[in-house]
Amino acid sequence: MIDDSKLLLKRRVGCSNSLLDVYLDDIVSETNEVISNYIVVSPKIKNSGNESGVVILPIIEESILLINIYRHPLKEHAWELPRGFINPSETAHEAAIRELNEETGISTTEDRLVDLGLVAPEPGVLAGKNHIFLVKDCEINTEFSVNEYGHKEIRKFSRTEVIQMIEGNNIYDSNTLVAIYKYFTMISIC
């Protein structure tokens, strides 16, 4: 096991906003090589297990609901599951319920959430994990309205369509891929 206290030589804040700190770390490798300016993106709010966000897989009439979202760093739209940050003093379950409603207009209750575990979307850079939840028997309560940057539309897809979208590289977000994989492999227990 690596002793973290001997790994970090120096940490500087590269930039920061209300949700994230970007650090430039000087670290020492196991072979005593000094690596300068290793970038670490760290969510400001996370629990002791480094959980900082949630991913929600809504099931509506046996279909999966996805959001078409513009992703500025890639300069393109992508099909993804709803997701977001956990707020201060909020549990992952509470965040999943809130984020699902904010991003899709779907209301749900904690008893409809199925815990599908964790995903570390980019552990080489991002110091946070997302908690994945399946939401069974969803019903859209309100009409979808664009209230978040980049959100274009929501749409239901069958299992076959989702598989085709993955095979055709139309779904490539790591959070979405892991959540769908976990759902498809754990479907018998859900």
Average pLDDT of the residues of the chain: 91
90-104, pLDDT tens digit by residue? 999 999 999 999 899
Provide mean pLDDT across the span 39-52. 94
Higher pLDDT, 146 or 114: 114
| Cβ contact 175:130 at 8 Å | yes
The hierarchical CATH code for the domain 51-189 is 3.90.79.10
Q: Which residues pair with 48 in a beta bridge?
A: none
Burial class (CB in 10 A: 0-12, 13-18, 19+), 106: buried
Q: Indicate the pTM of the whole model.
A: 0.90
Taken as a whole, the chain contains a residue count of 190
Query: Looking at the predicted structure, is the pLDDT value of residue 51 above 70?
Result: yes
3-class DSSP state of 10: strand
pLDDT tens-digit map of 60-75: 989 999 999 999 999 9
pLDDT band (50, 70, 90) for residue 188: low
Distance (Å) of CA 137 to CA 38, 81, 102: 44, 16, 18
Spatial separation of the C-alpha atoms in residues 12 and 189, rounded to whole Å:
46
Q: Residue ranges per domain, the chain?
A: 4-43, 51-189
> Whole-angstrom Cα distance, residue 152 to residue 59?
20
Token pair 């992952």 is found at 92
